[in-house]
Amino acid sequence: MRKKIEVSDLKPGMYVSALDRPWIETPFLFQGITIESYDQIEELRRYCNYVFIDDLSIARPAQERHIEIELFKKSAQGALDARSSTPRQSVKFEQELQHIEADYRKFMGVADDFMKDVRLGRSLDIEPVKTTVHEAVESILRNPDALICLTQLRGKSQSTALHSMRVSILSIAFAHHLQLPLPTLNAIGIGALLHDVGKGRLPEELINKTGALTFAEQELMKRHVPLGLEIVTDTRGLPAEAIDAVALHHEYFDGSGYPGQIKKPASLIGQITALVNHYDALTSDVAGRPAISPHAALLHLYAQRDMLFERGLVERFTQCVGIYPIGSLVQLSTGHVGIVAAINRARFLRPKIALVVDDQGHRYTPAKMVDLSDQARDEASRRWEIKSVLPPANFDLISAADLAVLVADATR
C-alpha cells in the first residue's frame, strides 16, 4: 500500500515509490529509491513537496540494515584469514573463462539430457554426469570465479536443468572453499546436479507453471524428493555421499524442512546442497515470485542463520561468493551504476566494478572499469563506494552475453 507524506517527514530506510512529479524531472536514475541518508532527503526536497512511500518499507530499514552491518563485520573478519585459507588459483580468470565456455555449454546439455531421460521413463545414464562434473571440478580447482561468473548468465529460461547446473557449480565451488577433499568435490557436484531429478516424474504443467502454486500443487511438488531418491538409489555407480544431496536438499537446520523434518542434518553435503539450492531459488524467478539480488539473498540467509542453516556455514558461503557476488547490479556513492565484475576476497566491500551508467544517467560504451580497492575517485574527487544494490528487474542495462567479457576485462 502507498502512503502520501511530506518530504520533510521522510526518514532513512523508507522506500519512495512515486513522486509528485515525473521521475525524469529529477536527478534520480531509477523509479523507486530506498532512502539511505538525510542527504537524499535534502535532494528530494529540492524537487518535491510530497512523495509516496510503501507502508511496509517503514518497518524494513532498522532490522535489515542491522543484519547487513553484522554480515559486513563477519565477512571483514573472515577476510583476515582469506589470504591463507582460500585455495590458491593456478590460472588467471580470463584464461579459465575462455577455456571453459565450451565445457559450460556441454554441462547444460548433460543436465538437460538426463532430465529428458527421466521424463521419458529411461534409466539414468550416470557416466556423462560423472565426466561433466569432473571437468567442472578441474575448472574450479584452477579458478573458481570463472564458473561462478557463468552461473550469472541467465536468460528468461528457468528450467530445472539450468537450476540444477547452477546448484552443482556453486556447491562444488563452496566445497572447494571449505577445502574438502577431491572425492567429496566430485560427489557433491554429482549429487547437486541430480538433486531435482525427481521433478522429471512430476506433471510438466506443474514444473513449468509460472504463477504461484496452490497448496495442493505445493504438496505434489514436494514429492520430487522421494521420487528423486528412488531414481538415484536405483542408479549404479553413484558415490554414496551424492545420494545425501538428493535426500536432504530441502531439510533445514531447525527441522522445518521436508520430507523428513530432520533437525541439524549430519551430512555436510546435504547441508551445502540445501543452502546453495535455497540461494539459487531466491535469485531466480520461481513460481510467481520475482528474483532478488544475490546481495539480498545473502542477507536473507544470514537472517535465517541457526534456523534454516547453521551460522558458520552461512558465513563461509558469504566469504566464498562475496558480499557483492559477481553479477550484482550496484549503484555507487557517485551516482554511477555498475556490475560487480570481480571479487576481492581480502576486501569484500571493495570489488572491481564494470561501470555501465555514469552519474548523469548516460550509458558507457564500452563499460568503464574501476577497482574500488584502489581507493579510486572520479573526476570530481568523489570516492567510489557501493551505496546500494539494485534489484534484478533493473538488469536491462547490459546484455547477459556481455557480462563475461566485462568480467574478463576487469581481471586483466
Q: Spell out the domain ranges in the chain.
A: 2-59, 82-321, 329-410
Mean pLDDT of the chain: 80
- What is the predicted pLDDT for the residue at 147? 82
Query: pLDDT tens, 233-265?
Result: 999 999 999 999 999 999 999 999 999 999 999
Classify domain 82-321 at the CATH class level.
mainly alpha
CB 354 within 8 A of CB 338: yes
Asked if the model's pLDDT at residue 171 lies above 50, the reply is yes
- For the chain, report the end-to-end CA distance as a whole number of angstroms: 47
Percent of the chain with pLDDT over 70: 77
- What is the predicted pLDDT for the residue at 406? 61
CA distance 393 to 381: 31
Asked if the model's pLDDT at residue 285 lies above 90, the reply is no
**Rounded mean pLDDT, 90-111:** 79
CA distance 302 to 74: 10
Asked if the model's pLDDT at residue 60 lies above 90, the reply is no
Strands across the sheet containing 33-34: 2-6, 50-54, 15-19, 33-34
* Grid cell locating 7: 518530504
Query: pLDDT tens, 330-368?
Result: 888 888 888 887 777 667 778 888 888 888 888 887 778
Q: What's this model's pTM, rounded to 2 decimal places?
A: 0.76
When pLDDT is cut at 50, 70 and 90, the band that residue 288 belongs to is low
When pLDDT is cut at 50, 70 and 90, the band that residue 201 belongs to is very high
Among candidate residues 150, 174, 143, 112, the one with its CA nearest the CA of residue 317: 174
When pLDDT is cut at 50, 70 and 90, the band that residue 36 belongs to is low
Percent of the chain with pLDDT over 90: 33
